Amino acid sequence: MKQFLFFISLTLVWIACSDPSGVEREKPAKPSMVKRSLTTDLDSIERGIDAADDSETDDIVIMWHKHPATLNLDKYVLYRGQDINGQLIYEPLPIVLKANTKNDTVTVDTKLELGVLYHYYIIAIDQNNTKSLPSDTVQYKLIDKAWALDVDADTANGFTNPERLIFSASYVDGQTGPGKYAIRIRGEDDNNLSGYRIVYQTEIKNVDFNGFIKEEISGEDLKVVFGKGGLYQWRVDLFQGENTGSETIWQDFPELIIWGD
């Protein structure tokens, strides 16, 4: 009798846990993270995991590819991992990542620590709460941002018909080892969703060992870069290898650039 009751109990548990339709639900396809390329830090459109460029805090941007199962997909769960006592430990982040929204392939992990290598993967969850297999993983480490950014027209007329623009910044000497440094400049663009477009970017070669960065644009190059005039913004990126770096927030030029008599 006891064996019979035990069998009945198991049967009831199986029925309760089974899909009412009797059909085993298929898992959503495994998501795929956007990988950084070797040129990400100098591309006009930066793709893949990266330092955030619009924050005063230390943040990381994580990107993944659009999931093919858009109709039945409900949300994503992002997992962050870091080394704790020699073991890589992951935990889900309390970020609501709803699927089928305007920005459902990117998120920002905020207020992180410098010098820590963070690892990320995501899973997709459909409307039946069925979870996909974990995606591939991506990694990034943040370092100190450049500071004391300054742009000087270096002429009596200032930013009206400028002859030379000098960009300078400071960084923490020695923190990046054989690191690289880049300047990005963007101008207003009504046809771009962000309201801006990149007009100039290059690796900065004038870097000394006292923590000082300098870039100069002069002559005909000024008209090529700033020919439309108006409001411009700039920032400095520091990067070391493929997965370590920082980006300052965008800084406004102190004046509008004006061409003419």
For the segment 124-181, what is each residue's pLDDT rounded down to a tens digit? 999 999 999 999 999 999 998 999 999 999 777 889 999 999 999 998 755 545 578 8
Say how far apart CA 176 and CA 240 lie, in whole Å: 6
Residues of the chain with pLDDT under 70: 1-25, 37-45, 70, 173-178, 193, 209, 261
Exposed / middle / buried, residue 239 (Cβ in 10 Å: 0-12, 13-18, 19+): buried
> What pLDDT, on the 0 to 100 scale, is given for residue 103?
83
Say how far apart CA 50 and CA 60 lie, in whole Å: 6
- Between the alpha carbon of residue 43 and those of residues 7, 48, 108, the distances in Å are 64, 11, 20
> Is the overall model pTM greater than 0.85, yes or no?
no
End-to-end CA distance of the chain: 103
- Residue 91 pairs in a beta bridge with 80
26-142 and 147-252, same CATH topology: yes
CATH of 147-252, one of 1.10.10, 2.60.40, 2.70.98, 3.40.50: 2.60.40
CB 144 within 8 A of CB 171: yes
> What pLDDT, on the 0 to 100 scale, is given for residue 239?
85
CATH superfamily of 26-142: Immunoglobulins (2.60.40.10)
- Residue 50 pairs in a beta bridge with 61
> What pLDDT, on the 0 to 100 scale, is given for residue 10?
40
To the nearest 10°, report the CA torsion of 42, 173, 242, 104.
-70
Q: Which residue has the tokens 């997709």?
A: 124
Q: Kindly provide the b/e burial profile for residues 205-226, where b requires at least 16 CB atoms within 10 angstroms of the residue's own CB.
A: eebeeebebebebeeeebeebb
> What pLDDT, on the 0 to 100 scale, is given for residue 210?
72
- What residue segments make up the domains of the chain, in order of their start? 26-142, 147-252
Say how far apart CA 45 and CA 128 lie, in whole Å: 36
How many Cα neighbours within 13 Å face the side chain of 85? 0
